[in-house]
Amino acid sequence: MEWKPQPLGIEGVTVHRRGQGQPLVLLHCLGQSWRFWDVLEPLADRYELIAYSLPGHHDTSLPAGQYDQEATTAQLHALMQREGIGRFHLAGISMGGSLAVHFAGTHPELVDRLILCDCTPRYNEESRANWPVRAGIAREKGVAALIPTLLPVFFTVGSIAEDGPNVRHVRETFASCSGEGYALACEWLSMVDAREQAKRIAAPTLIMLGSEEREAFKEAAQWMRANIPNSHGIVEVPMAGHASVRERPDFAVAQFRAFLG
């Protein structure tokens, strides 16, 4: 894969803020949007929920080209400065979790508590080789062509069969996602490596993942527990896949409340 990352601006990014209390910044997964976190709305009674869509996703404009982990961390930092947000809690899932690891290790002074869901600081070699392939499909056929492969990863068989509102939301968001925006994010994922940043995280850190998550993510969770200095352990979300927070929101809300205090 040709790799020519460029900086990211903040002009085309809308930050959505709900609730009141200590800021909780939320970073979504590949192919979704800031609305992925709507299921955490009950937390708005105690925290200000702050979210935005990643580059080329939903209401965030398509970037000029490829971007790297330094660019996404710099963008997040600039957005918080623009919004007047100082120290905050940070949570991310999948792609958003990888970004959260890099950000929290780069700016440990800004992150109060950290929640990492279904993510890895670096993908294994098989996944790294597959991301450009998935990017090519998204560019050629659109993200909708990937949905039959993606849904069984994001949700358990039972949830897919039930086809409830959370499954439908994820499916519909995938279908409307920009093919180029998705492809550029795939290329970001193929290159991300936040292992050194993970070792510099100062915040108390909770690691969460679905009980039915793939083995590579379970191994990544164990690595993060061993290497993040102030890790508070791993919580498995029962009967959940990769989109664990979205699949079992009541459980996730309870865990967020208990950990954030």
> What are the structural domain ranges in the chain?
16-260
- Is this structure's pTM higher than 0.85? yes
Residue 95 banded pLDDT, cuts 50, 70, 90: very high
pLDDT at 218 (0 to 100): 98
> Mean pLDDT, to the nearest integer, of 84-96?
98
Residue 1 banded pLDDT, cuts 50, 70, 90: confident
62 pLDDT above the threshold of 90: yes
Q: What is the per-residue pLDDT across 180-204, written as a single tens digit (0 to 9) for each?
A: 999 999 999 999 999 999 999 999 9
CA distance 24 to 112: 9
Asked if residue 232 lies in contact with residue 203, where contact means CB atoms within 8 angstroms, the answer is no
Residue that the structure tokens 């098989």 belong to? 126
Q: What is the 3-state secondary structure (H, E, C) of 9-25?
A: CCCCCCCEEEECCEEEE
> Mean pLDDT, to the nearest integer, of 205-232?
98
Domain 16-260, CATH class in plain words: alpha beta
Nearest C-alpha neighbor of 47 from the set 88, 85, 13, 8:
88
